[in-house]
């Protein structure tokens, strides 16, 4: 039961991270094709950056305390990267340099999107796997019978 709750929390955190990064990519793309003002774009992106950092840190701490070591070791580099950006005060997008760093910011966000998609896929898989194995009527023999029919 608790394992299912853990994977639901991980799914919700990952969904939030995916939404934040996708929104930032959307704002940067709109900025690139002159659909959005640079001040509005940077304000919209900067509004969500600290929440993204907090969700990533919460995910890493959750994985650490629940003993999911491999997923924790995969999540730690991105968390350390976020901590490094925050300590160096480079986590916010500057309005005056937004066009100079546009391609770099888009590449970083695309990499983050890929990492979060991998985590989301793993969490969905593990959630379904735990739900199926914890289902009262489940046994391997019935599973093989359904596969053979």
pLDDT band at 2 (very low <50, low <70, confident <90, very high): confident
134, 105, 142, 139: which is closest to 5 by C-alpha? 134
- In this predicted structure, what is the pLDDT of residue 132? 78
Q: What is the pTM of this model?
A: 0.86
pLDDT tens digits, 55-98 = 999 999 999 999 999 999 999 999 999 999 999 999 999 999 99
| Separation of alpha carbons 78 and 75, rounded Å | 6
DSSP 47-74: HHHHHHHHHHHHHHHHHHHHT-HHHHHH
pLDDT of 73: 94
pLDDT of residue 139: 61
């Amino acid at each position: 039961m608790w394992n299912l709750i853990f994977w639901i929390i991980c799914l919700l955190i990952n969904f939030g991270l995916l939404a934040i990064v996708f929104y930032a990519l959307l704002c940067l793309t709109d900025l690139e094709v002159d659909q959005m003002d640079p001040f509005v774009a940077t304000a919209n992106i900067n509004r969500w950056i600290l929440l993204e950092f907090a969700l990533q840190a919460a995910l890493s701490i959750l994985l650490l305390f629940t003993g999911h070591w491999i997923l924790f070791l995969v999540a730690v580099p991105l968390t350390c990267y976020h901590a490094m950006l925050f300590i160096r005060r480079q986590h916010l997008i500057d309005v005056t340099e937004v066009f100079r760093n546009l391609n770099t910011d888009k590449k970083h966000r695309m990499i983050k999107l890929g990492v979060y998609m991998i985590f989301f896929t793993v969490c969905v898989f593990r959630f379904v796997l735990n739900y199926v194995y914890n289902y009262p009527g489940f046994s391997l023999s019935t599973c093989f019978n359904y596969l053979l029919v």
